[in-house]
Amino acid sequence: MKITVAGAGNVGLVTAVCFAEAGHQVTCLDTQKEKIEMLEKGHTPFFEPGLEPLLEKNLASGQLRFSTNPKQAYRGAEIIFIAVGTPEKKDGSVDLSYIYIASYHIAENIENDVIVCTKSTVPVGTNDIIKQILQHRKPRHLNVDVVSNPEFLREGSAIRDFYLGDRIIIGADNPKAASIMEQLYLPFQIPIVVTDTRSAEMIKYASNAFLATKISFINEIANLCEKVGANIDEVSFGMGMDKRIGLNYLQPGIGYGGSCFPKDTKALVQLAGNVLHPFELLESVIKVNQQQHSLLVRKAKERFGSLKGKKAAVLGLAFKPETDDIREAVSLTIIKELLGEGSFVSAYDPIAIPNAHKLLGNSIEYSTTIREAVKGADFAVIATEWDQIKHLPLDTYTAYMKEPIIFDGRNCYSLKDIQRYPITYVSIGRPTIANVAHTPQH
Ligand code: UDX
Is residue 349 predicted with pLDDT exceeding 70? yes
Residue 10 Cα: closest atom of ligand 1: 12
In terms of Cα–Cα distance, which of 85, 17, 12, 83 is closest to 50?
A: 17
Stretch 27-46: mean pLDDT, rounded?
97
- pLDDT of residue 192 exceeding 50: yes
CATH of 294-434, picked from 3.40.50.720, 3.40.640.10, 3.30.565.10, 3.40.190.10, is: 3.40.50.720
- Res. 438: pLDDT tops 70: no
By DSSP bridging, strand 25-29 and strand 64-67 are parallel
- CA–centroid distance, 257 to ligand 1, in Å, is 7
Give residue 154's Cα distance to chain centre: 6
Res 440 pLDDT > 80: no
Beta 114-118 vs 144-148: how paired, if at all?
parallel
| Cα 267 to middle of ligand 1, angstroms | 17
Atom of ligand 1 nearest to the CA of 248: 33
Inform me whether the pLDDT recorded for 246 exceeds 70: yes
Active site residue 260: yes
413's CB contacts (< 8 A; 6+ apart) are 390, 394, 406, 425, 427
Ligand 1: residue of 215, 233, 289, 292 to mutate (most ligand atoms within 8 A of CB) is 215
Which overall architecture, per CATH, does domain 2-195 show? Answer: 3-Layer(aba) Sandwich (3.40)
Amino acid at 313: A
| Cα 367 to ligand 1 centroid, rounded to whole Å | 26
DSSP 8-state class, residue 433 = E
Residue 332: pLDDT over 90 = yes
Judged against a pLDDT cut of 70, whether residue 295 lies above it is answered with yes
CA of 410 to the centre of ligand 1 (A): 13
More confident position, 435 or 256 = 256
Please state the rounded mean pLDDT for residues 285-291.
98
Instruction: Find the 384 Cα to ligand 1 centroid distance in Å.
Output: 12
Kindly tell me if the per-residue pLDDT of 337 is higher than 50: yes
Atom of ligand 1 nearest to the CA of 215: 31
Specify the ligand 1 atom closest to the Cα of 121.
Answer: 7
- Can you give the pLDDT at residue 436? 63
Q: Are 314 and 338 in contact (CB under 8 A)?
A: yes
How confident is the model over 349-378, as a mean pLDDT?
97
Band (pLDDT 50/70/90 cuts) for residue 91 is confident
* DSSP annotation string for 276-337: T---HHHHHHHHHHHHHHTHHHHHHHHHHS--TT-EEEEE--SSSTT----TT-HHHHHHHH
pLDDT higher than 80, residue 172:
yes
Residue spans per domain, the chain: 2-195, 204-291, 294-434
Q: How far apart are CA 386 and CA 52, in angstroms?
A: 21
pLDDT higher than 80, residue 406: yes
pLDDT tens track for 133-166 = 999 999 999 999 999 999 999 999 999 999 999 9
Ligand 1: which of 46, 122, 319 to mutate, most ligand atoms within 8 Å of CB?
319
Instruction: Please say whether the beta carbons of 180 and 206 come within 8 A.
Output: no
> Which residues line the pocket of ligand 1, CB cutoff 6 A?
151-155, 208, 211, 215, 249-251, 253, 256-258, 260-261, 319-320
Q: Which of 28, 225, 260, 412 is catalytic?
A: 260
Mean pLDDT of the chain: 96
* pLDDT tens readout for residues 194-241: 999 999 999 999 999 999 999 999 999 999 999 999 999 999 999 999
Residue nearest atom 32 in ligand 1 by C-alpha distance: 249
Put residue 32 in one of left, alpha, beta given phi > 0 → left and psi -120 to 50 → alpha: beta
133 phi/psi in degrees, rounded to 5: -60, -45
pLDDT at 93: 87
| 204-291 homologous superfamily | N-(1-d-carboxylethyl)-l-norvaline Dehydrogenase; domain 2 (1.10.1040.10)
- pLDDT of amino acid 435: 75
pLDDT for residue 441 is more than 80: no
What is the total residue count of the chain? 442
- What are phi and psi for residue 92, nearest 5 degrees? 90, -10
Same fold, 2-195 and 294-434: yes
CA angle 326, 217, 148 (to 5 degrees): 60
